[in-house]
Amino acid sequence: MKLHPQFPYALYLVISHEACKGKDMIQVAQQAIRGGVDIIQLREKKASEKLFLQRAQQLRELTEKHNVPLIINDNPKVASQVNAAGIHVGNRDSRPALLRKKPYFKERIIGYSIEYLSQLDNEQTATSDYLGISPVFRTDTKKDTVTEWGLEGISKIRQLTTKPLVGIGNLHQQNAGSVIRAGADCIAVVSAICGAEDPEKAAYELKNAILR
């Protein structure tokens, strides 16, 4: 597979304390980096702002050491407080076009979730650096979703935009290759790595399935 020049990452870990199910989140992230994860998003939907910030700071130390970009989900304040590489937002969050006007986000990565085809024509998509195809397949990790895009949805979106496409939602070693072949540039996972017995091995095998 060929990496997208504007988003040269193939395997994207979306992590939270909760998804690690009792394991230490920083250790899971460290193992995942060893296994080949290229970029990490911290997605804390239930933590207080204080805990979110603490976890973001810990993850930032680790990712900085390994030169892995850290993306913060939803929260621009936490992103700038930890000097993150960027932010991921959806339709119920801060708008990419408004974020882009803030000095902090001028040169940072902004990811935007695609839930409706009509979003491809909006200003938010135009100002974003990558699009999350959300979800590719229905998943228990995020239940408030709209469109289950499937492989056909990815192919369709691929024909309509040259933006980097990140597939997310119930992706694992067995379907990662087909998601890339359908037109995605990158695979994002929560459970396939955070919930794995051996996160390093899970990341390594996923990476191989993507690059094969």
Ligand X SMILES: Cc1ncc(COP(=O)(O)OP(=O)(O)O)c(N)n1
Consult the annotation and say whether 139 binds a ligand.
Answer: yes
For the segment 113-142, give every residue that binds ligand X (CB under 6 A).
113, 132, 134, 142
Token code pair at residue 136: 């590719």
Consult the annotation and say whether 60 binds a ligand.
Answer: no
CA angle 159, 161, 166 (to 5 degrees): 100
CB neighbour burial string for 38-55, b if at least 16 within 10 angstroms, e if fewer = bbbbbbbeebeeeebbeb
> Per-residue x/- mask for ligand X, residues 149 to 168, rule CB under 6 A?
-----------------x-x
Token code pair at residue 182: 């359908």
Query: Does 93 participate in binding ligand X (rule CB under 6 A)?
Result: yes
Q: Cis link prior to 135 (omega < 30° from 0)? A: yes
Report CA-CA distances (Å) from 85 to 70, 81, 127, 132, 184.
Answer: 5, 11, 16, 17, 21
Q: How far is the CB of 105 from ligand TZP (least distance, A)?
A: 20
Q: How far is the CB of 43 from ligand TZP (least distance, A)?
A: 6
For residues 30 and 75, which CB has a smaller minimum distance to ligand X in the complex?
75
Extract the annotated binding site.
Answer: 41-45, 73-74, 93, 113, 139-142, 190-191
The residue ranges that bind ligand X (CB under 6 A) are 12, 14, 41, 43, 73-74, 88-90, 93, 111, 113, 132, 134, 142, 166, 168, 188
The residue ranges that bind Mg ion (CB under 5 A) are 74, 90, 93
